[in-house]
Structure 1
Amino acid sequence: MHRTLIVTNDFPPRPGGIQTFLHNMARRLDPDRTVVYASTWKRGREGAEATAAFDREQPFTVVRDPTTMLLPTPRVTRRAAGLLREHGCTSVWFGAAAPLGLMAPALRRAGATRLVATTHGHEAGWALLPGARRLLRRIGESTDTVTYLGEYTRTRIAAALTPEAAARMTHLPPGVDEKAFHPDSGGEAVRARLGLTGRPVVVCVSRLVPRKGQDTLVRSLPRILARQPRTVLLLVGGGPYEKRLRALAEETGVADSVRFTGAVPWEELPAHFGAGDVFAMPCRTRRGGLDVEGLGIVYLEASATGLPVVAGDSGGAPDAVLDGESGYVVRGAGTGAAAGTAERVLALLDDAGLRRRMGERGRAWVEEQWRWDLLAGRLRALL
């Protein structure tokens, strides 16, 4: 009987987009034929309890390593090989190719006949560094396929692989739960609770970190408010950049027009998307290409909710937008980024018909190409 071992550092309750990707895919595999080998989210009692509670709720087997970060060490490799044999697994899915895909030769010797390694944004950064580039090449040579999120990540990662491995690459992006993210997701209730009823709302749902471009949104607000003075920027999510963003809002004189929600539980995210008229996240590439947006699933979640989107041009973010149809792609960095963002946001705030048409086109695109069930079927075929 075919069974799959998933080896990953990126698994809930650890928060993040890759974690959501892996969990949603795992839930759509046969639970009786799926085993997850993952790191532990946090050390200490609180982390252990949260992890144990999450694992008990899963329909498949979850085995936790005591470390908070799995690395392809001899000990971890032996443990993975032991789990492969113990559970009779014949396929392996590395939730992130780098660095765990380096275990592929040992797992093939242990009995795996099919090995799939999934790449995200950070592997595109690895492809720029000589030492890491060599490791990516080894991963490509020792697995059956390396998956990629979009054209941006494919071209950069393929350049680090052998021609044979590059030819075996397969498109496998994350999907969207179109039943959870939809136009009637409860946005009006969130608006009412936050005192935003009747006001234009630009929403950004993401961790508060420099790459995401929330500071560009704050800097764009004076131009937006000059024409749409009742506009509110709703920043949904927590993160280390919050203190700086609050200070920037004060310095820019727009603090009264910015709302911070802090971290929001996953089940409340669709309603927070729905609280916006426009979704905007002008993400940018940092650190010479090492800090880059792999895809930007939030743009697709916003589209599923019926919102037009304004996306930055970092990495694979444009792959999640039909530029001019479901939204706009803007420059995420450099002189003029804030002005360009303001121009596109205002074009949408000024035209309800344009917002509706772009929102409807984005929703249809998600239903056609980005549903989890479609993409999970692709993963099952690869395994």
Structure 2
Amino acid sequence: MSRVLVVTNDFPTRRGGIESFVLALCQGMPPEEVVVYTAAMPGAEAYDAGLAFPVYRDPASTLLPTRPVARRVVEVMRRHGCDRVVFGASSPLGLLAPALRRAGARRIVALTHGHEVWWATVPLARPLLRRVGDSVDVLTYVSEWCRDRIAPALSPGAAARMVRLSPGVDPDRFHAGCGGAEVRRRLGLGDAPVVVCTGRLVRRKGQDTLLRAWPAVLDRHPTARLLLVGDGPDRERLERLTGSLGLRDAVVLTGGVAWGDVPAYTDAGDVFAMPCRTRLLGLEPEAWGDRVPGGAGVRAAGGGGGLRGAHRRPCSGAARWCTASRRWPPHSSGCCPRRGSGCAPTACPTGRVPHVSWGTCWPSDMPKAATLGGGWRPADYEIRRS
């Protein structure tokens, strides 16, 4: 039987967007057709035992494209008869592609995310990314914004082979009424309007921007609550900022939650907001490339990689699911100057949600599987045998 070998540093038990993306990709394939090779991580043995497909852990906590790692990956590849390979992130592990090709890989796909924008920009890293592009059959990209920045670092042939692969939302997990009422009850939120932000607590995700904006929200909506779901190295700073702004009664920091509980926490909010910022002089960007005045990005989604545009200029509305009305507000047309697809107006149909001026839209050419409600189907992005 032909199998797919997924080689990645980004896999649970680590938490993050790429980790969730790669895991969903693996779980979307028949378990008998996928094998994972990843790094050593705390708690991995217990976690891997609950998966339906085999997972091999390298002795190292970070995989690098070295000869010893290549030798161990080839051993697993041959043991399971894998003739297709997916790199969970193209850089730097995509540099293993020639060795795996010599070992029998017939098709190799490498995923790119936001950090490949950094590789495409830095002089020493740029030629390495070009080598990866020339060594694989396909480089994927998550947004047009990323492609516009990665493609110039590639050879013309590699750039022409790029394919969009955007993470979608599983509508069987993320939907209205998937547990938000219980989360509200448990956290004492009641019927207050709630803005929820789900993600790692790191500076790039911009939770501090939400905190600094919250006093202005409270001036107009005194009962509004901000729900920050997740954990990370920025937590202590965010807790101090919450206290210094006098927001302890208006903000809930849940800490880390199990991946299975994320839909319920997302459902507890009336608005999902994540004002991501680009940092380090542009070397640490948000992969979706959304922009609003002031340099901050925003994502409005149903969680887990949902409805997020890839345009460079702001548009007038915010795409938001209203848990009070249990529906998306009606779409308007032509608001995005680059894509011209459609944004939801900023007003909540029930009037319950505070006005949010940040905007996002989704391109008309985005595959349905990459939009909220369309679901995600592995068949849309088949890793074919050639």
Structure-1-length-normalised TM-score: 0.82
Would the aligned equivalents of 2:179 and 2:263 in 1 still touch at CA under 8 Å?
yes
Q: 1:40 corresponds to which residue? A: 40
Equivalent AA in structure 2 for residue 161 of structure 1: L
Instruction: Decide which moves more: 139-148 or 265-274.
Output: 265-274
Aligned counterparts of 1:346 and 1:87: Cα–Cα separation in 2: 52
| Structure 1 residue 233: Cα displacement | 0.9
Q: Pick closer, same or farther for the CA change 1:323–1:379 going to 2, 3 Å.
A: farther
Q: Pick closer, same or farther for the CA change 1:317–1:271 going to 2, 3 Å.
A: farther
Q: Pick closer, same or farther for the CA change 1:372–1:30 going to 2, 3 Å.
A: farther
Q: 1:26 corresponds to which residue? A: 26
- In structure 2, stretches of 5+ residues that fail to align are 290-297, 322-343, 356-360
| Structure 1 residue 317: Cα displacement | 6.4
Equivalent AA in structure 2 for residue 17 of structure 1: G
| Structure 1 residue 20: Cα displacement | 1.2
Equivalent AA in structure 2 for residue 7 of structure 1: V
2:81 equivalent among 83, 88, 104: 88
Aligned counterparts of 1:61 and 1:242: Cα–Cα separation in 2: 34
Q: Pick closer, same or farther for the CA change 1:4–1:304 going to 2, 3 Å.
A: closer
1:186 and 2:176 are equivalent in the alignment: no
- In structure 1, stretches of 5+ residues that fail to align are 42-46, 329-343, 356-360
Would the aligned equivalents of 1:94 and 1:100 in 2 still touch at CA under 8 Å?
yes
Post-superposition Cα deviations, 1:154-201, rounded to whole Å, max 9, x if no partner, equal 111101101110000000112211111101112111111111102111
* 1:112-191 superposed matches below 5 A: 112-191=105-184
1:301 and 2:302 are equivalent in the alignment: yes
Aligned counterparts of 1:303 and 1:8: Cα–Cα separation in 2: 19
Q: Pick closer, same or farther for the CA change 1:2–1:368 going to 2, 3 Å.
A: closer
Aligned counterparts of 1:304 and 1:322: Cα–Cα separation in 2: 20
Aligned counterparts of 1:5 and 1:323: Cα–Cα separation in 2: 43
SS in 1 for 2:109: strand
Q: 2:381 corresponds to which residue? A: 379
Q: Pick closer, same or farther for the CA change 1:193–1:322 going to 2, 3 Å.
A: farther
Would the aligned equivalents of 1:37 and 1:64 in 2 still touch at CA under 8 Å?
yes
Q: 1:5 corresponds to which residue? A: 5
| Structure 1 residue 7: Cα displacement | 0.7
Would the aligned equivalents of 1:11 and 1:23 in 2 still touch at CA under 8 Å?
yes
Post-superposition Cα deviations, 1:6-47, rounded to whole Å, max 9, x if no partner, equal 111111122221111111111122322222111111xxxxx2
Equivalent AA in structure 2 for residue 16 of structure 1: G
- Two-structure CA RMSD over aligned residues (Å): 3.2
Aligned counterparts of 1:84 and 1:12: Cα–Cα separation in 2: 21
Equivalent AA in structure 2 for residue 96 of structure 1: A
Q: Pick closer, same or farther for the CA change 1:367–1:102 going to 2, 3 Å.
A: closer
Aligned counterparts of 1:354 and 1:268: Cα–Cα separation in 2: 26
Q: Pick closer, same or farther for the CA change 1:372–1:7 going to 2, 3 Å.
A: farther
Q: 1:105 corresponds to which residue? A: 98
1:197 and 2:190 are equivalent in the alignment: yes
Post-superposition Cα deviations, 1:102-160, rounded to whole Å, max 9, x if no partner, equal 01111111111111110011111111101111100000001001000011111111011
Greater helix fraction, Structure 1 or Structure 2: 1
Q: 2:249 corresponds to which residue? A: 256
Would the aligned equivalents of 1:120 and 1:148 in 2 still touch at CA under 8 Å?
yes
Q: 1:266 corresponds to which residue? A: 259
Q: Pick closer, same or farther for the CA change 1:58–1:373 going to 2, 3 Å.
A: farther
Runs of 4+ in 1 over 6 A off after TM superposition: none
Q: 1:64 corresponds to which residue? A: 57
Equivalent AA in structure 1 for residue 301 of structure 2: L
Q: 1:332 corresponds to which residue? A: none
* 1:189-268 superposed matches below 5 A: 189-268=182-261
1:292 and 2:279 are equivalent in the alignment: no
Q: Pick closer, same or farther for the CA change 1:101–1:92 going to 2, 3 Å.
A: same
Post-superposition Cα deviations, 1:287-328, rounded to whole Å, max 9, x if no partner, equal 0122122249974334999xxx9x8xxxx7669x99736249
| Structure 1 residue 80: Cα displacement | 1.4
1:77 and 2:106 are equivalent in the alignment: no
Aligned counterparts of 1:303 and 1:14: Cα–Cα separation in 2: 15
**How many percent of aligned residue pairs carry the same amino acid?**
47
Aligned counterparts of 2:15 and 2:236: Cα–Cα separation in 1: 20
